[in-house]
Amino acid sequence: MRIPNAPDVKPLQHISPSIYEALLRCRARATWATTGDRSALPQHPRALLGICLHSVVEDAHNGKLAGLKGDDRLEAAREIFDQHSKFLYDHAHPLLRTKFSSPTRLPFYNLYRERAALEAVVSAECVERAVHSANVAQPASQLRMYVEKKLISRDGLLVGRPDLIDTVAREIVDYKTGAALDEPVDTIAEAEARQLRLYVHLAQENSLFVSHAVVVRPDGRRVSIDVSSQEADEEGRKARELLAAYNSAAGTTFNDAAQPSVEACQFCPCIPFCEAFWKASLPAWEERCGVHLEGHIAAVEESILQGIKLITLRVLVQRGTVAAGEVFVEQIPEPWATADGAIPPREGAMVRIVHAHRMGDDVPLMIRVDRIATSVWTETA
């Protein structure tokens, strides 16, 4: 596939909790998240399915499961999940559709589908209880429970859309879908706490008074923290300062804005086109950042397995989290490298292979691709 172009650094009118966290890690990463062409990179299957989960819960809160009971309600929620996943799959990056022939073939599909159905039933039941306790037939939009409600600070500099705000329980709930593999299970990480404090700040600025924040893990476990008004306001102040600092650097290039490090580059989607990463990355980064290599193709070997054309590349590695030298990247399905219409990898071309796996420590090093995460990017020499 062709290496995408990096976006320009442009001023931002406001930031969300997720962009705030991105800015704390790397200004260039925040640039991609706000102005980058999302269609240029393949989505992680978990990220796509996580969007579906949130959409099903929102639909349930807005009455799409009303009038159904028991298994009928669960089955309806599953069908809604199927509809959302098909739409997102049909509009996904061609590499994702090349690797997986239908949305139901995505890894973790059934797990996310069932969790979405269960969470949707809980959401629908909460709405019904609230209506019953009020003894009036209010629409869900008028209840004191808000799903995916957009919040804007009074000065317009901060925005956010919490998964759930329950003003009766005085809490904000954030559903984690598992896209980030470094999330703890039984505690709330500092990055998550920052996001929650900012959500509480936004809620309070919109006269929704909450003081409790809950994270729901992919397996359904809940962990929570209390957030005082002082803590929430302080997080809001820090976010505004970071926004101002970012805007003062507007007009610089993406690579000038980049702040590569092990921490900043872990799970970063920008690696395929971030020149700063390739200049800074070291083999010592592999344990936390994974296997990423850049080099020139010295030879291409072809084979056929079950009707699929496979290519093995002998690459002279120059940069990345793999030591410089000769490596073999084995059995890449050629359609992965040509999913966007690019020509197959050829001798002499520069190649970047991200999110692969090493096979032992023998020399020359053998690298295997991963069906879920690996992508292959080339430029003609």
Task: Say what the pLDDT of residue 38 is.
Answer: 86
Is 149's pLDDT higher than 60? yes
Domain at 281-379, CATH class: mainly beta
The DSSP output letter for 258 is: -
pLDDT digits (tens, 9 = 90+) for 95-147: 999 999 999 999 999 999 999 999 899 888 877 776 655 544 445 444 577 87
Measured CA to CA, the distance from residue 178 to residue 133 in angstroms comes to: 35
pLDDT digits (tens, 9 = 90+) for 185-232: 678 899 999 999 999 999 999 999 899 999 988 777 889 999 999 999
Domain positions in the chain? 42-139, 144-249, 281-379
Is 247's pLDDT higher than 70? yes
Q: In what order do the strands lie in the sheet with 164-166?
A: 145-147, 164-166, 171-175, 212-216, 222-226
Global pTM?
0.86
Provide the Cα torsion 249, 251, 256, 261; round to 10°.
50
Q: What share of the chain is helix, strand, coil (3-state, %, to 5)?
A: 40, 20, 35
Is 348's pLDDT higher than 90? yes
Measured CA to CA, the distance from residue 142 to residue 296 in angstroms comes to: 60
